[in-house]
Structure 1
Amino acid sequence: MAGLVYSIDSSALIHAWHRIYRPKNFGFVWDGFDKLIAEGRFKSSIEVYNELQKKDDELFEWCKDRKGTMFVEIDDPTQAIVAKIMGAHPKLVDTVKGRSGADPFVIALAASTNPQMWVVTEEHPGKERIPDVCNAQNIDYCGVADLIEKEDWTS
């Protein structure tokens, strides 16, 4: 398996689908995601799937078609890393608003994989956001535009 391997967050999928890389005009991006999925290089935690299921929109339909190939169930190594992440970064998940519940699983999936995955997120550093935790855990991260550039997709 050549090339980088990615663990994508809900925010990146939502941002790409609804805001920046809408499938109607940027089909090559979604075709590229499908190619990466087929190569085993584009994955996400099942917790992202569960978050997206709440909206039940066209993006979720796209995800549902890829549930068996893109979304990874939580295993013991991932769960152990989630516990470590939450111990060190308890504010990563907003338990009051019920948001960001998949974030530690996206990071843990990246950390528990060999080679270590890049986390793909549209979050920016702040107080206990994905980039902050990735920096603290020495995990590389990027946005969707960065992924497109790394993969050299032009159209």
Structure 2
Amino acid sequence: MTVKKVYSVDTSALLDGLERYYPQVAFPALWDKVDGLVAEGRFFVSEEVWEEARVHDAATKLWLEGHPKDSIVVPTDVSIAAEVQEILGAYPKLVANMKGRNRADAFVIAVARKIGGVVVTGEGSDGNENRPKIPFICINSQIECIRFIDIIRLEGWKF
């Protein structure tokens, strides 16, 4: 039996999917499949991503708010907070000089750790110790990290 993957999704991946590359109006079948992942309990965002993503574009806000919050959001509880603290302890520059941007990054990784999931991000893999990005931290933490398009491939969806 194949183990089905569970996804912790970053704001940048939602923006890639809903606004940049695969808008729901043009790719309704894709978003029906993503909705299926939500219904199966396999597609999650952190509370911080929920808040961050809803301020960008109407498409992202509408899609998120089209789901019961408790079906898609992993709340920031003590275990998530402890994971975030550990991540920021190891990578303090993750939040340095970001002027409020990317505040959800550590939470995306913490949720993936908690649920045993895969991180989905739109960030590039050009991060380093001085400017850590989600993929860099995932590689160093041995957490699978993919882009939105990779969900389609991993799930074997055909359109």
Q: TM-score per shorter chain, which class? A: over 0.9
1:43 paired residue number = 44
- Structure 1 stretches (4+) deviating beyond 3 angstroms? none
Alpha-carbon separation, structure 2, partners of 1:129 and 1:15:
17
Q: Which residue is equivalent to 1:28?
A: 29
One-letter amino acid matched to 1:145:
I
Q: Distance in 2 between matches of 1:132 and 1:55?
A: 25
The alignment's TM-score, normalised by the length of structure 1, stands at 0.92
- Where structure 1 has 5 or more consecutive residues not aligned to the other structure, the ranges are none
Aligned length: 153
Q: Deviations over 1:101-135 (max 9, x none)?
A: 1110010000112xx10000111122300001111
1:87 aligns with 2:96: no
Give the % identical residues.
39
Contact 1:94–1:101 (8 Å) recurs in 2 = no
Kindly indicate whether the alpha-carbon contact (under 8 Å) linking 1:6 and 1:120 is maintained by their aligned counterparts in 2.
yes
Alignment of 1:3-152 (within 5 A): 3-55=4-56, 57-66=58-67, 67-113=69-115, 116-125=116-125, 126=127, 127-152=131-156
Q: Distance in 2 between matches of 1:101 and 1:46?
A: 11
Per-residue deviation, residues 55-108 of structure 1 (Å, max 9, x unmatched): 361210110122221111111111101000001111222554210011100100
Following superposition, the deviation at residue 2 of structure 1 comes to 4.8
In structure 2, list runs of 5 or more residues that go unmatched.
Answer: none
Alignment RMSD (CA, Å): 1.6
Q: Alpha carbons of 1:96 and 1:129: their partners in 2 closer, same or farther (altered >3 Å)?
A: closer
Q: Secondary structure at the match of 1:112?
A: helix
Q: Structure 1 CA distance, aligned partners of 2:26 and 2:57?
A: 22
Q: Secondary structure at the match of 2:119?
A: strand
Q: Give the TM-score taking structure 2 as reference length.
A: 0.90
